[in-house]
Amino acid sequence: MKKLLTLLAVTLYFGTAFAQQDPMFTKYMFNSLTFNPAYAGSKDHMAIGLLHRSQWVGIDGAPVTQSFTIHTPLKNERVGIGFNLVNDNIGPTSNLGLNLAYAYRIPVGDNGKLSIGMQGGVENYRADFTRLTTEDAIGADPAFIENPNRWLPNFGAGIYYYNPKFYAGFSSPQLVEYELAQNVVTGNGRTTWARQYRHYFLTAGAAIPISGDDLVFKPSFLIKNVSLLSGLRKDAQFQEFGTPTEFDIDMSLFFYQTLWLGLSYRSAFEDFDETSSFDSIDIWASYFLKNGLRIGAAYDYTLTELSQATSGSFELYLGYEFDYNNNKTVTPRYF
């Protein structure tokens, strides 16, 4: 188990990671502001959300993530603002990100809106490598001599189109790439770089009434990519890296504007290292109370070899929605 902790930490620390660096969420549709600032104000009333994720339960040092979002339209109905906080921990490394979002919404057609968003904020990256157990003493490995603690300012952008029955968005929440470690010479003499990469998110979904508002079918997807435009980087060693493009496909049913049940599948378009890219099958549920409170939970069944060491991943969600103009609770929107 200690070896697995070391593998997880080193994999995410260095730029040659085999997975994307931004945290994943099964219930991404409930905290979309964390990856797309154009989502701010899209509900046309203030919305607050708190989400906790424990990934690969049973594995020491596995990712644990929390997110907090709040967003609302202003009196100028074309403007939306929001705030999001993401705290992500894996092994000895931690990332705390705080961002303020601004969105300008343009009416399109009778019921649609096109939102253009920007966000700015800061991320605190830190690591405590004394927590690792390695073959050699920590001090003997130059990759673990220092425990970094850095504040990294950043900004992001996104677009988001939505109407009562459809939405689509594209975003990059952190446009600036930072070098987290330089010229680290490992035991085989190879220079290893740690780098924070730019991530891209593409999402879309629809609401299809089956029996009026009493039963609504809602399919959606989220695609996460790191390698887009990587060939434009000046440094050749950062133009190619082994990070597959991940996708989440979700299908859900919304019963009587109250109970929401969903099933999703997470995988990747590429088979990295010629192994299976299947990640998980997920189930989730959310319940809307009449006072505006929303509660939810999700469970991911792991399809990789990690299933031999973990009982899966879990998420818990708590949210509240209320009308900005009339100061009363409202029926929640589909998106």
Reported as a single tens digit per residue, the pLDDT across 145-183 is 677 788 999 999 999 999 999 999 999 999 988 877 655
What is the CA 224 to chain-centroid distance, rounded? 9
CB contact burial 260-290 (16+ within 10 A = b; e otherwise)? bebebbbbbeeeeeeeebebbbbebbbebee
Average pLDDT, the chain: 82
Considering 55-64, 227-236, 241-250, the range whose residues carry the highest mean pLDDT is: 55-64
Share of residues in the chain with pLDDT > 70 (%): 75
Tell me the average pLDDT across 191-199.
71
The pLDDT score that the predictor gives to residue 98 is: 96
Both tokens assigned to 53: 């994720």
Q: What is the pLDDT of residue 272?
A: 47
Closest C-alpha to 324, from 70, 73, 40, 69: 73
Higher-pLDDT residue of 7, 318: 318
Looking at residue 38, what is its pLDDT?
97
Q: Which residues pair with 124 in a beta bridge?
A: 96, 151
Structure confidence at residue 242 (pLDDT): 53
pLDDT of 41 strictly over 80: yes
Longest C-alpha distance within the chain, in Å?
67
**Long-range pairs for 146-149: beta carbons < 8 A, 24 or more residues apart:** 148/180, 148/181, 149/124, 149/125
Residue 320, pLDDT > 50, answer yes
- Top pLDDT among 299 and 276 is at 299
Distance CA 5, CA 93 (A): 11
Say if residues 242 and 19 touch (Cβ distance below 8 Å).
no
Count the helix, strand and coil residues of the chain and give each as a percent rounded to the nearest 5: 15, 50, 35
Domains with residue ranges and CATH for the chain: 2-322 (2.40.160.40)
**CB of 161 within 8 A of CB of 108?**
yes
Integer CA distances (angstroms), 260 to 20, 125, 254, in order: 29, 36, 4
pTM score, two decimals?
A: 0.84
Within 13 Å and on the Cβ side, how many CA atoms surround 105? Answer: 28
Distance CA 273, CA 277 (A): 9
Asked if residue 162 lies in contact with residue 170, where contact means CB atoms within 8 angstroms, the answer is no
Structure tokens at 301: 């069944």
Rounded to whole angstroms, the Cα distance separating 79 from 102 reads 7
Segment 63-73, tens digit of pLDDT: 999 999 999 99
**pLDDT for the residue numbered 305:** 81
Which residue type, as a one-letter code, is found at position 241?
F
